[in-house]
Amino acid sequence: MVDIKGNLAKVAATLPRDVELLAVTKFHPIEALREAYDCGLRRFGENRVQELLSKQLHLPSDIKWHFIGHLQSNKVRQVVGRVEMIESVDTVRLLNIIDRESQRAGVVTKVLLQLHVAREETKFGFSVDELMDFFENRGFESLSAVHICGLMGMASNTDDCERVSSDFREISRCYNLIRNDKRLGLRGFNILSMGMTNDYGIAIREGSNHVRIGTAIFGEREY
């Protein structure tokens, strides 16, 4: 039996006051999410569209859902208007599709751009050059129904703490370059989402203000 209340207290005790916790719900049962909700959690992150839609049917409507998995373009319409934020926008093409579908739905969708610095080729995201070119060329100015709120990134899957720290440091560097560039005139670009159960302490030291934690709260996933 997983002690979700106790786990939440332990995680909360390690988080600075300015760091927001997103509870990652992938493969965890409704009962576990409801227990976390009863403990006061209101932000949940889901990786899979069908799992997100199913869980929304069975949980309170005041939960603020974030989509954090790889989002296929043909599933954007199912997500727009149903989540507080899409944290995993990994291409300009996907960004434009979200903008188009948000216009159609009459909503403004908050997003984070996913930056890929990890060693694994299987991970998604903008390269550093692609990201900086997008902002340098003011690609965001064509968006009318999307609000870019910051960046999301993952470190390499390794036990090498120096490598993990270096990855997070690079994501943080890009975030600060964009955020502090007055020429861009960005408003509300203030979220740096880095860090999961195994590395969020390092991520916070490197500047993260938004962590995505599942296993440390809910225990191992039920497949």
- The residue-averaged pLDDT of 177-197 equals 96
> Do residues 55 and 30 make contact, with C-beta atoms less than 8 angstroms apart?
yes
Give the DSSP H or E segment for 10.
helix 4-14
> Do residues 26 and 214 make contact, with C-beta atoms less than 8 angstroms apart?
yes
* Class of domain 4-218 as given by CATH: alpha beta
- Residue partners of 160: CB distance under 8 A and separation at least 6: none
Length of the chain: 223
> Do residues 82 and 59 make contact, with C-beta atoms less than 8 angstroms apart?
no
- The residue-averaged pLDDT of 162-181 equals 97
Domain ranges of the chain: 4-218
- What is residue 152's predicted lDDT score, i.e. its pLDDT? 98
Label residue 10 by pLDDT band (50, 70, 90). Answer: very high
Residue 13 has pLDDT above 60, yes or no: yes
| DSSP 8-state class, residue 126 | B
- What is residue 123's predicted lDDT score, i.e. its pLDDT? 73
- What is residue 120's predicted lDDT score, i.e. its pLDDT? 73
- Residue partners of 43: CB distance under 8 A and separation at least 6: 20, 21, 22, 23, 63, 64, 65, 66, 84
